[in-house]
Amino acid sequence: MAHGDGTRIATLWRLLLGFLLAVLVGGDAAGVPLVVGIDAHRAVSAGLARTPPMGWNSWNAFGADVRSADIRAAADAIVSSGMRAAGYQYVIIDDGWMAPARDADGNLRADPDRFPEGIAALAVYVHARGLKLGIYESPGLTTCQGLPGSYGHEARDAAAFAAWGVDYLKYDACSYLGLRPAATDARGWLVTGFTRMRNALDATGRPIVYSINPAAGGDPAAQQPWTWAPQVANLWRATNDHVPCWTSTEPLGGSTGGCVADNLGASSAWQRSGGPGHWNDLDMLTLGLTPDTENIVVQEIGAIATGSDTTRLDDTEARSELSIWAMLASPLLAGNDLTRTDASTRAILTNRAVLAVDQDPLGAAAVRLSRTDGLQVWTRRLAGGDTAVLAVNPTATARTANLTAAELSLPTATRYQAKDLWTGEVAASTATADVALPVTLAPHASAMLRLVPDYGPPHTAVHGGVDRRGGATAAVQAEVESGDHLVLALHPSWSTFRADTIWRNWTDLPRRYAE
């Protein structure tokens, strides 16, 4: 087949796919009625983001000047630094990747100077390293940087992303908020705009993680996306733009966020809305950013928030930032220049014990405890019966506390063992009634612990017989001293009996054992 014939066929195929998607998602024209939540489409993305996405985003380091070489270098660094092995997988190109105008047929184009090979070739490069590619767009006429938005082109753009091999879309409100007709419900306008692209993505048949930022532009109606976004997206921004500072002195457009500690108290409002497949997004991590390695927009926001032109996190604050993001089950997207990462930042980003809390498959919400001593303390139930505990000192003076089993509302167990997730130290097993976790925290420091229960041996004979689930797993239940039930799972494919974890009931039993 001649090269020209192949090009013409590819062009015709793209046009046909665009037409089909226009029919399926309600068209590309503004004002066309939208069917929200098409079941046949949603099946495509139903299994996405079962744990918070982890990866890297280009914005904080490179802004709108990002180039193909930056993305390739970041992908290589994720592999060589051990970040891929620790769970980071998405390489996301933020605003700035597209040409200033669409082509004559209305298609998005990569900037020919900064992305000369195009996005499809870049996706091949990223995929070859065992990673996934993310890209950026807006439901408005233009992006936040004034480049072509997807308004009126949703199906066409979704088809392009799928054809290029994109795995993740960050969709930023930007100019869309200003398009709302007078007397139109603000919340309905947001739901419609963001759902239109969700349906368009799913209609392509390619699973694409969908990240939205409805609060861009400071629209008050968008400041509680957790009340509607779980039905639309895999993750949504719950805070303002995040910059490398500990606490802000000035509000940013009336929204929560800006600096690390700004999100501590606000999390109670939205924390319970997250879970497998839908997550509250605290924005990109800022640890590792320095005044000479961050883009000018990040510097400007930091100056507005704090009154300082040289904001950055020290190592103590960086550990607290990752701890907070992990405890609150936020997506973890590094934002520093990975080719200039020092050993300390790399060690923080790849702390697998902390990352495991963020990635816990149960996806339970963290619960904030009521305290009057200046400390912020959360607990979070983890799969298998463990409990994560995070204590943060947001103040400028050192604080001490003694956390007890009663205060932490620990599930009944014979004993508990505590592991410090930053130092690796493991405390001796302690009877539940005697659990007391002393913490001494410097200003802006945090302590993150994992409490592992020991329920002790069963004291009575097995009762209830054998319970088979789906014909695959046999299990017996034995009463333990606390009155709870120990569930032991035995799969026919196992050569020996396996009961390395204790579950309270079938609800807690991990899917791989219960099916």
Task: Characterize 385-404 residue by residue with b for buried, 16 or more Cβ atoms within 10 angstroms of its Cβ, and e for exposed.
Answer: bbbbbbbbbbbeeebebebe
Residues with Cβ within 8 Å of residue 31, at least 6 apart in sequence: none
Give DSSP secondary structure letters for 212-239.
EETTTT--GGGS-GGGTGGGT-SEEE-S
Q: Which of 167, 92, 70 is nearest to 136 (CA)?
A: 92
For residue 476, what is the enclosing H or E element? strand 473-479
Distance CA(116)–CA(106), nearest Å, equals 19
Backbone angle region of 49, left / alpha / beta, with phi > 0 → left and psi within -120 to 50 → alpha: left
Look up residue 429 and give its two tokens: 């097993």
Residue 42 has pLDDT above 90, yes or no: no
Strand partners, 389: 379, 449
Task: Give the start-to-end residue ranges of the domains of the chain.
Answer: 3-358, 367-454, 463-514
Q: What pLDDT was estimated at residue 219?
A: 59
Decide: 358 and 330 in contact? Cβ < 8 Å.
yes
The average pLDDT across 312-336 equals 97
Classify domain 3-358 by CATH number.
Answer: 3.20.20.70
Residue 486 has pLDDT above 60, yes or no: no
pLDDT in tens, 64-106: 999 999 999 999 999 999 999 999 999 999 999 999 999 999 9
Q: How confident is the model at residue 510 (pLDDT cuts 50, 70, 90)?
A: very low
Q: What pLDDT was estimated at residue 40?
A: 61
Please give the mean pLDDT across all residues of the chain. Answer: 82
Q: How confident is the model at residue 489 (pLDDT cuts 50, 70, 90)?
A: very low
The average pLDDT across 157-164 equals 97
For residue 467, what is the enclosing H or E element? strand 463-469
Helices 118-127 and 154-164: angle between axes, nearest 10 degrees:
40
Residue 502 has pLDDT above 80, yes or no: no
- Edge-first strand order for the sheet with 376-381 is 367-368, 376-381, 387-392, 446-454, 415-420, 430-431
The average pLDDT across 173-190 equals 89
For residues 112 and 510, the model is more confident at 112
Residues noted as catalytic: 172, 241
Residue 253 has pLDDT above 90, yes or no: no
pLDDT in tens, 415-447: 899 999 999 999 888 887 788 899 999 999 999
Residue 26 has pLDDT above 60, yes or no: no
Q: How confident is the model at residue 254 (pLDDT cuts 50, 70, 90)?
A: low
For residue 399, what is the enclosing H or E element? strand 399-404
Decide: 455 and 486 in contact? Cβ < 8 Å.
yes
Residue 383 has pLDDT above 70, yes or no: yes
Classify domain 367-454 by CATH number.
Answer: 2.60.40.1180
DSSP SS3 for 376 = strand
Backbone angle region of 512, left / alpha / beta, with phi > 0 → left and psi within -120 to 50 → alpha: alpha
Q: What pLDDT was estimated at residue 263?
A: 76
Residues with Cβ within 8 Å of residue 261, at least 6 apart in sequence: 246, 247, 392, 394, 444
Look up residue 405 and give its two tokens: 């089993």
Distance CA(469)–CA(497), nearest Å, equals 17
Q: What pLDDT was estimated at residue 452?
A: 94
